[in-house]
Every structure is written in structure tokens, then in C-alpha cells.
Amino acid sequence: MTLSHELDGKVAIVTGGGNGIGRATAELFAAQGAAVAVLDVNGSAAEDVASRITSSGGRAVSITADVSREHDARRAVEETVGQFGGIDILFNNAGIIRRASVLDIRIEDWDLVTAVNLRGVFLMSRFALPHMIENKAGAIVNTGSGWGLAGGGQAASYCATKAAVVNLTKAMAIDHAQAGIRVNCVCPGDTDTNLLKSEGEQLGIEAATWMRESADRPMGRVGRPEEIAQAVLYLVSDRSSYVTGVAHIVDGGGLAG
């Protein structure tokens, strides 16, 4: 069976939509019929994705926003509603990583990772939820990580924030289920993105070696952004209508053993 236009008539916000998993998901949402607000702190990257979507016949706008800032998050939601008339889907995907232990990380980097990875999810959800509650329907997906379920070395702030995102997802799912809103979390393993490449650079590991080490999992490779996007599509679509509060692992078997 060919699945097509699963999101017809829906309006979606994708944070961190300028590259990687966010970009792949924004483009997939648009291909499935959604109008997409592409949010990124890098305005030119967001504009590039939105332009690609519109040039292919889809509907999209780009919004330059820092999700960790209250004003930006509120404005992003207001601009989306103003442009498309509402919000049905929120993909809280914006995230950063600083590879360091508690002893080694700079305090300002700890605060930055926490602000983007956790506060950003809180703020975007806080401002989007009232619109979903008014419509008695909605789907939120938060990007967690395999390291939100199991710890990893030299990544204390990232592990802490992604674990918090996993449990925040569950709390939000409980709080808003009666309003017809489903909240889930996708937990990717190492995926071929700029974020993954930056980790190797931060650790001082040669690029080819780093990517080879990252592929050390049962399937023997890193993920592709498009593969994570397919999991997100499932979680926001009617195919997962009885699914809420889950942490959906997409990691090539990395956490299996």
C-alpha cells in the first residue's frame, strides 16, 4: 500500500529545521501535504529549506528563531498561526551538544545546552499547546536520544537534557491526553548530520575514524536523517492514533544489547 498525503490540511512547526533531521522531516511533512513552518536559529538555512519546499509545490515559511528565548518561541508560534491559521503538529527537534564531562564542561556551555535542548522544548510546547487544546487535537514529537535512555561518556550535559526530554514527554502525554493531544519522543542513534560530525571535531578524532566508530552497532552503519524523519511522520500521523508517551528508539540496534 502506498501511503501518500497523510498530513493533508495539517500545519506543522519544525524546530532545528535548517539541516539534518529537521530538514529531512520538514521536507517529508510537506511532501505529505502539511504546511510547514521551518524554524532555525540560522535564518538562511531555514529559508533554503522553505524555498526547496515551495519550489516543489509545497507550502512553507521560514522563521529565524532561537527556541531558548521566550520572545522568539512565542513569536514563532504567532507567525505560524498568522500564516497558516493554526498548529496541528510540533516537532521539537532543535538541539546542540558539547562533548565534556561535568568536571570539564564550561558552566556557560552547560547552561547553553540546557537552554536549547530542554528549555526550548518547554517554551515551544507552552506556546503551541493552547492552539492544539482549542482544536481538541494535536501531535507533539520531541527529539530525545539513545543517550536519553542510557548514559554516554564525555557528554554529561547532553545526556542530562535528553533524559529530561524523555520524561518531559511522558509528563506532557499524561497532562494533555484528555485534550486530544498526543506527545511522543523519537530517540535517534548516531545519524549522519552536522551535529554528529561536530562531536568528532570536539573530541579531536579524525573524521573517517569518528564515523567508523559511530557505525559500531548491529546494523553496522549510522542512520540517515530521512530514516529518522519517517519515524517522526509515523508518530504525528493517524497511524499512531493510540500511541502517546513513548520513547521511540531509531538507532540501528545500538541499545539492543
* Residue 129 near residue 86 (C-beta atoms within 8 A): no
Given the residues 84, 122, 127, 158, the one annotated as active site? 158
d(CA 235, CA 196): 24
Q: What is the pLDDT of residues 190-238, one digit of tens each?
A: 999 999 999 999 999 999 999 999 999 999 999 999 999 999 999 999 9
The residue extents of the domains of the chain are 11-190+224-249
C-alpha cell recorded at residue 139 = 501531535
Q: What is the pTM of this model?
A: 0.97
The third-level CATH classification (topology) of the domain covering 11-190+224-249 is Rossmann fold (3.40.50)
* pLDDT grade for 1, boundaries at 50, 70 and 90: very low
Which residues partner with 59 through β-bridges?
35
Contacts for 78 with CB less than 8 Å, ≥ 6 apart: 127
- Signed CA dihedral, 65, 67, 71, 75: sign only: positive
Is residue 158 flagged as an active site residue?
Answer: yes
* pLDDT grade for 257, boundaries at 50, 70 and 90: confident
